A and B are shown apart, each in its own frame.
Chain A
Amino acid sequence: MMFEGTVFKFGRNVDTDVIIPARYLSTTDPQELAAHVMEDIDPGFVGKVKAGDIIAAEENFGCGSSREQAPVAIRAAGIACVVAVSFARIFYRNAINIGLPILVCPGAAREAGSGDLLRVDLDRGEVTNLTKQKKYQGDRFPEFMQEIVAAGGLMNRVKEKLAGGRPGSS
């Protein structure tokens, strides 16, 4: 998977309460959630974001609540990929499970600024900052997780299992 998009840059410890505040959690509709994504950290975000844009963030992106509405809202807002120095673990799992592309790439995430043009090669774990003309190597998913991504998300694996396909592998 390859993405090219404009960066929205965020700092450290962006929590899921600012990604999608609890006052909007009485719905599971992705578009409705997307209408409020990042509202409490960047009120102008929803008005500016375009399909294919990329979020770059520093340490511990997605910390706090386990609400899956956070990656759902980010994806529904059109964000193609999130590149961070590190992710909080529940957000990381949720993103993989719902098919929001994410990559741990500390150098690229730290040095990218809002408005930079980024190219992300998820399969190689490579990020190129086209604005700064610099290339970075990120962490590829461990093999176990690549299988989930390749299956198109966790529930596709569950479907296989329910259909009597592969019993709980590895």
Chain B
Amino acid sequence: MGMTVTEKILARACGRDAVQAGEFINARLDLALANDITAPLAIKEFEAAGAKKVWDPERVVLVCDHFVPNKDIRSAEQAKFVRNFARRQGLSNFYDVGRMGIEHVILPEKGLVAPGDVVIGADSHTCTYGALGAFATGVGSTDLAAGMATGEVWLRVPETIRFNLKGTPGKYVTGKDYILYIIGMIGVDGALYAAMEFAGGAVAALSMDGRFTMCNMAIEAGGKSGIVAPDAVTEDYCRGRTRRQPVMLAGDKDAAYARVVDIDVAAIEPQVARPHLPSNAVPASELADLKVDQVVIGSCTNGRIEDLRMAAEVMRGRKVSPHVRTIVIPGSQEVYRQAMREGLIDIFINAEAAVSTPTCGPCLGGHMGILAAGERAVSTTNRNFVGRMGHVDSEVYLAGPYVAAATALAGTVAVP
């Protein structure tokens, strides 16, 4: 029996020729990640267990991105706790204000994740790195503490659900629309415990940024990981960037899949996921006339340069509706600088949108754009749960950058 690309990565990480879905393994880690709200618990567990040094100070990555720049005194204390640990441990990959970005934007950008890697992160959107042909999954703080101490993680080898995307997308249809459509089709637990493998011509045609967006939301279907087998696009992205030698693995022709789903992307319209589940995806055109108070463009899902280019393409020379507060958050310092070079920041400011330093901020209702009771946002983020972005009676509609930007201009849900 052949293996899927995920099984091959995991077999390699536990030093075996083959593994099968359902087996429990101890896998060697290439990277372990935490942020300013998950690291404090992990550090406490790490120290309580009597651990003195992390297993490899180059492979434990800490990023302060959720509640920074510090939103209040308590979040300042948490960030300080993480910072002090990073210094004590001599971590070479600690990212703080001015040098940081949203974790899942900067780790690939700085070449810290390579194809073939096994990565755990105390953040559910760690599955983003599957776009590079790595196995990457979100864990809690205690799993992360164990990983920091030992360089290993226990895993149940996941079944793989393969999504074959074929055809040519219509205008303004992006990776975000693909993944919202898929989650809408299979539900928020449709891929529970499984690896979601994205393949086919329409995925091959996606840029790395589009692939990051797709893999990022695998967790919103309950997936353990998302993955795109590495190809020439991956290799191009890694060249001159990735610090380790990429391990380019492909699934076998006779690999066993739990399910294979064929999708013709030509049939997908720009999508919007209504409250309060990411699976409530409908064509944006069905929601015209729905008034919006705030638009957020950014996050680990859609805060990369290509996302900002899409938003700017729509907003160029226009002004956002006087009824809409529009907040644009580049995902990293590098994305911010590139957006400046290309004149995108001017476009946003001229359109009367606010542009912020990188932060997860509003996505999880932390800061930088909290909603009041009865308010409604269209956001390029990943979750629209009850109270996610603020008051328990506020609403979040998830969309891609084109729809978000068009909505900001119109004041109601719109497609460019």
A binding-site residues for B, Cβ under 8 Å: 13, 15, 17-18, 21-23, 25-28, 40-41, 59-60, 63-69, 71-72, 86, 88-90, 93-94, 97-98, 142, 144, 148, 153-159, 161-163, 168-170
Contact = CB atoms under 8 A, between A and B. Distances in A.
Interface string B355-372: 000000000111000000
A68 B140 contact: yes
A27 B126 CA distance: 22
Interface in B17-34: 24-26
Contact of B189 (A63, A67, A153, A163): A63
Contact of A90 (B25, B71, B140): B140
23 contacts: A17-B387, A22-B366, A41-B386, A63-B222, A65-B383, A66-B126, A68-B122, A69-B41, A86-B189, A86-B192, A89-B222, A93-B143, A94-B139, A94-B141, A144-B154, A153-B142, A158-B51, A158-B149, A162-B51, A162-B150, A163-B50, A168-B26, A169-B26
Most buried by A among B45, B74, B126: B45
Nearest to A27: B74
Nearest to A159: B49
B123 A60 contact: no
A168 B27 CA distance: 10
Interface string B130-160: 0000000011111101100110101010000
Interface residues of B, number: 55
A73 B49 CA distance: 21
B26 A158 contact: no
Nearest to A97: B142
B228 interface: no
Which of B24, B38, B222 has most chain A Cβ within 10 Å? B222
A66 B140 contact: yes
B224 interface: yes
B150 A168 contact: yes
Contacts of B67: 25-26
A26 B140 contact: no
Given A26-B67, A168-B152, A170-B26, A66 B188 contact: no
Nearest to B70: A26
A10 B391 CA distance: 21
Contacts of A89: 192-193, 222, 224
A26 B74 contact: yes
A94 B142 CA distance: 7
Given A25-B37, A66-B124, A40 B387 contact: yes
A82 to B, nearest CB: 15
Given A26-B78, A65-B364, A66-B38, 17 more contacts: A21-B387, A25-B37, A60-B192, A65-B124, A67-B140, A68-B38, A68-B122, A68-B142, A97-B142, A142-B156, A148-B154, A158-B145, A158-B149, A162-B149, A163-B50, A168-B150, A170-B26
B75 interface: yes
B386 A18 contact: yes
Contact of A28 (B41, B71, B72): B41
B189 A66 contact: no
Contact of B138 (A21, A59, A72, A90): A90
A159 B52 CA distance: 11
A159 B50 CA distance: 7
B304 to A, nearest CB: 21
A146 B279 CA distance: 33
Central interface residue in B49, B122, B366, B388, by most chain A CB within 10 Å: B49
Nearest to B37: A25
